[in-house]
Amino acid sequence: MQEASHVIHVVDDDSSFRSAIARLLNAAGYEVALYETSQQLLEKPPTSMTDCILLDVQMAGLSGPQLQDRLSQLGNRLPIVFLTGHGDIPTSVRTIKAGAEDFLTKPVTKERLLDSIERALDHASRSRARAEEVDGLLARIQTLTPREKQVFALVVRGMLNKQIAHEMGTCERTVKAHRHMVMEKCGVRSVAELVMIAERTGIMPADSVPVKKPALRVKMPANSC
């Protein structure tokens, strides 16, 4: 049984199908909202990120794929499972590429339908968790001063304090002070953790391996800080 907080928004122009699917989903523990057309859903798009859309392909007015596109334009990222009696390979490929969780063809077994919905909800939940984590990491980075952000970027590239000092035109003592504040504000204890933050926030691609440049033999003027 699923948590009642999950609402499945069924968009299908077949009234008998809507009634049947509502009974099935209610019995499985879901709440259900029914729509005869895509426009009905668009009049008041669902906002709860714990919901899911079960969507037909061919309907009067906006088709299922067109509704998917419109929701994407509105920034609505609810998981979508297509369930249709008019399935074809090009449409299934298009909808999956556009982000649909699954593309099912009627008739479908109860087990397969419920499994598809459960996987869609689980995937959406994990995606939200990752997005929230990234938002939290970005919030930490935003607490850095412009100078600290510069140090952050150079540190995750694998540069040493002396190299960073040369790059920024300052001395190692100043770099160490900035670096300490970066670590403290980001809530980390190692460069590896800083690199992880850079990767997860997209500041540095995950496949980009920091390479330490050869040490620079630069003697900084005594009054450079």
CATH fold of 7-131 = Rossmann fold (3.40.50)
DSSP-assigned letters across all residues of 149-176: HHHHHHHHTT--HHHHHHHHTS-HHHHH
Instruction: Decide yes or no: CATH 1.10.10.10 for domain 143-225.
Output: yes
Q: What phi and psi values does residue 22 have, to the nearest 5 degrees? A: -65, -40
* 11 close to 37: Cβ distance less than 8 angstroms: yes
pLDDT in tens, 15-33: 999 999 999 999 999 999 9
Q: How far apart are CA 6 and CA 42, in angstroms?
A: 19
Give me the residue spans of the domains in the chain. Answer: 7-131, 143-225
pLDDT in tens, 154-193: 999 999 999 999 999 999 999 999 999 999 999 999 999 9
Q: How far apart are CA 103 and CA 92, in angstroms?
A: 6
- pLDDT for 124: 87
